[in-house]
Amino acid sequence: MPPSNAAPIIEIDGISKSFGAFKVLNDLSFSVAPGEKLALIGPSGSGKTTILRILMTLEGIDSGTIRVAGDNLYQMERNGKLQQADEAHLHKMREKIGMVFQLFNLFPHKCVLDNVTLAPMLTKGVARKDAEQHAMELLDMVGLADKAKSMPSQLSGGQKQRVAIARALALKPKIMLFDEVTSALDPELVEEVLNVLWRLCRETDMTMLLVTHEMGFAHDFADRVLFFDRGRIVEDGKPDEIFRNPKQERTQAFLKKIIAAGHRI
Amino acid sequence: MEWDWAFVVQILPTLIEGVKITIIATLLGSVLAAIVGLVIAIVRRSKNRLISMPMGFVAEFIRGTPLLVQLYFIFYVLPDLGITLSPLVAGVIGLGLHYGTYTAEVYRAGIDNVARGQWEAAKACNLSPLQTWTQIIMPQALPPMIPALANYFIAMFKETPLLSAITVLELMNQARSIANYNYRYIEPITMVGAFFLVISIVSVIGLRWLERRYGKID
């Protein structure tokens, strides 16, 4: 757990986002300390995935500001005036952030090793030899060094997701975003992915934001849990407080439903 | 009217000259159509409607008018505007532009078929737009569209006799001038058909191979 007086690495201030008439995020604010492991939980459509997508710049925001490592994500200063961030600014900001998707999104035309080395070589100019060496270390860490030359289509879902994690780590981000990374997996494959997340959680000082329906894992993994509902944060606290003793009625109702559905906490 | 083998042998070298021009026009036209189609497809995807709409209009206009009219326009009307082209160049431009509007649709479908998650993963990997197109999107979009593109190129090949209307000395034009000169039509025109048939059959066999090779990727 990092010292709580450190300057936040993510500061979200009053952001709103609508898709058509549907308001996904409604004047949302929170901040994240460097190294903090955060779990975002809540019913589907509550806005938790949208937050990750906005941080990865896959979606824009309608209003509000976001700062990442002190820099404004969607705006930049030019001649003393704030203006819409251009592609170069977004490119610089994305260097700090990595993301793992629910459906893996591996590049199907490239082998496992190339999936991991592609971005460091193209975006940071890393030499192939160094990129491959680093990639092999990462693949070893996720337990897939022997699959380096396999194509993604030859892997199981759990293996694909572990490659996707290695691919995101290859860019050495300060912040990692995990968007329901086990939701698309067969139940027997969930564990192997969670084990990798667990290792990252204990062994690195990366800031991690995890959107998940695995409540048991969220409880063990997170320093802090945010419960989302209808585009707002309803409850924000330590895992024990949220899971054992939720204060808000909406949180209680949600957790009851999840337990009834057979998820362990 | 009797078939005269001696006459066939006599005109064969001239016809083969024509075949060469036909093949050259088809190959150059295919390359141009492949490039024009890609440009049209990418420009039409632009979120800026001031860019995508005019391109859409131009593409529909070219596709909605006959190739023969376009060839006449390029070869006989453009010189009035100070642009004079050799017959073959005019023919290749005509074929390339016309078929480019068709291949653009093939590209559009192929690009749309690449999963949205691929664009998002490319962004999360911080690839530039150009890197995303060249490294991620096109390598996935192209293989499934190769059979469809090849189909258009075979269709284009069979339309090259239209170039005779703008004095390109391709196969049909050579055959016609031989026929007019000798007052014998059966051998030259039959030979034209035979040449087209043989090349088409070879192309179709190649196309089937391409379909097996690229038709499906997972």
Q: Does B217 touch chain A (CB under 8 A)?
A: yes
Q: What is the pLDDT of residue B218?
A: 41
Examine the predicted complex and report whether its ipTM is higher than 0.95.
no
pLDDT-derived band at B214 (thresholds 50, 70, 90) equals confident
- The confidence score (pLDDT) of residue A263 equals 64
Pairs of residues, one from chain A and one from chain B, whose beta carbons lie less than 8 Å apart: 61
Selected residue of B47, B116, B125 to mutate for chain A interface (largest A Cβ count, 10 A) = B125
Grade residue B147 by pLDDT with cuts at 50, 70 and 90.
confident
Q: pLDDT, tens digit, for every residue of B92-118?
A: 999 999 999 999 999 999 999 999 999
Distance from CA of B116 to the nearest CA of A (A): 9
Going along chain B from its start, the domains and CATH numbers come out as 5-214 (1.10.3720.10)
Q: Verify whether the Cβ–Cβ distance A118 to B125 is below 8 Å.
A: yes
pLDDT at residue A103 is higher than 60? yes
The closest CB to that of A119, out of B118, B120, B127, belongs to B127
The CA-CA-CA angle for residues B58, B61, B64, to 5°, reads 150
* Contact state of A101 with B115 under an 8 Å Cβ cutoff: no
Strand, helix or coil at A224?
strand
CA distance B207 to B205: 5
Residue identified by tokens 């793992």 is A100
pLDDT band for position A76 (50/70/90)?
Answer: confident
Task: Quote the tokens at residue A63.
Answer: 């209003």
Query: What is the structure's pLDDT at A262?
Result: 66
User: Tens digits of per-residue pLDDT, B18-35?
Assistant: 999 999 999 999 999 999
Query: CA A103, CA A139: separation in Å to the nearest integer?
Result: 19
Average pLDDT over residues A130-140: 97
- Per-residue pLDDT tens digits for A209-237: 999 988 999 999 999 999 999 999 999 99
- Report how far residue A132's alpha carbon sits from residue B216's, in angstroms, rounded to the nearest whole number: 30
Q: Are A227 and A251 in contact (CB under 8 A)?
A: yes
pLDDT band at A80 (very low <50, low <70, confident <90, very high): confident
